Amino acid sequence: MPAAHLIGKRVDVLDKGWIELQDLMGDDLAIVNAARASFLGESKGDERDHKLLIYLMQHHHTTPFEQVEFKFRVRAPVMTWWQWVRHRTWSFNAQSGRYVTFEENDFYVPETWRKQSASNKQASFGELTLEEGQPLTQALEQHYQRCYDLYRQALAAGVAREQARVFLPGFAVYYTWVCKVDAHNLLHFLTLRMSPDAQYEIRAYARAIYRHFFKPALPWTAEAAEQYLFAPGTQLD
């Protein structure tokens, strides 16, 4: 049976973000039974079912994994959202700043400041010390406060929410959205976004999904993915 106890579970990510599992359809056995549908077969016991699922992963028979679906509610900053929506096999519905007024603390403040990688134009490597980063954190918080004050000033002047949001810091503001994906395409997302070279912020969300939802819901599939799919050095917890 699907891991119904996971539905409604919420896990904190980053400073103000979270992931909540809203719904789950299927389990490891659903994948196995889908693979046996070609000859109208069903479960043959745990040992043989487990062996078949591992075989499916090892030999890239992916369609049975599409029989399981996850539905999440996610709160994450736009800098993460922009990377996430590139996975177009997901279905998304997002909060709209045209309908919802943003709160004063709806902005991402990094815990540490990463240095630019000298060898990779799109990556970071190393961190500033706490002392080096503190002035930047203070400046960022002051910037957010100034932006939010201007946003509230525009609303108070009667400006429409859809236009007043131009004052908000675009990449840092938190949005909430509902998204749905099948297990095969979620594995593809996890393979890319848990990779050591993925941006830290989206890596944090991917790891949370894998550790708190995917692996508990699909333990055999997770075992097979760790054996045959994820790159060496991938942090899984």
Q: Which residues are catalytic?
A: 193
Exposed, middle or buried: residue 17 (CB in 10 Å: 0-12, 13-18, 19+)? buried
Q: Which two tokens stand for residue 183?
A: 């297990």
In the chain the beta strands, taken as DSSP E runs, fall at 10-13, 17-25, 69-77, 91-94, 114-116, 124-127, 174-182
C-beta separation of 219 from 54 below 8 A: no
Residue 64: CB atoms within 10 Å: 22
Residue 94: CB atoms within 10 Å: 13
Exposed, middle or buried: residue 45 (CB in 10 Å: 0-12, 13-18, 19+)? exposed
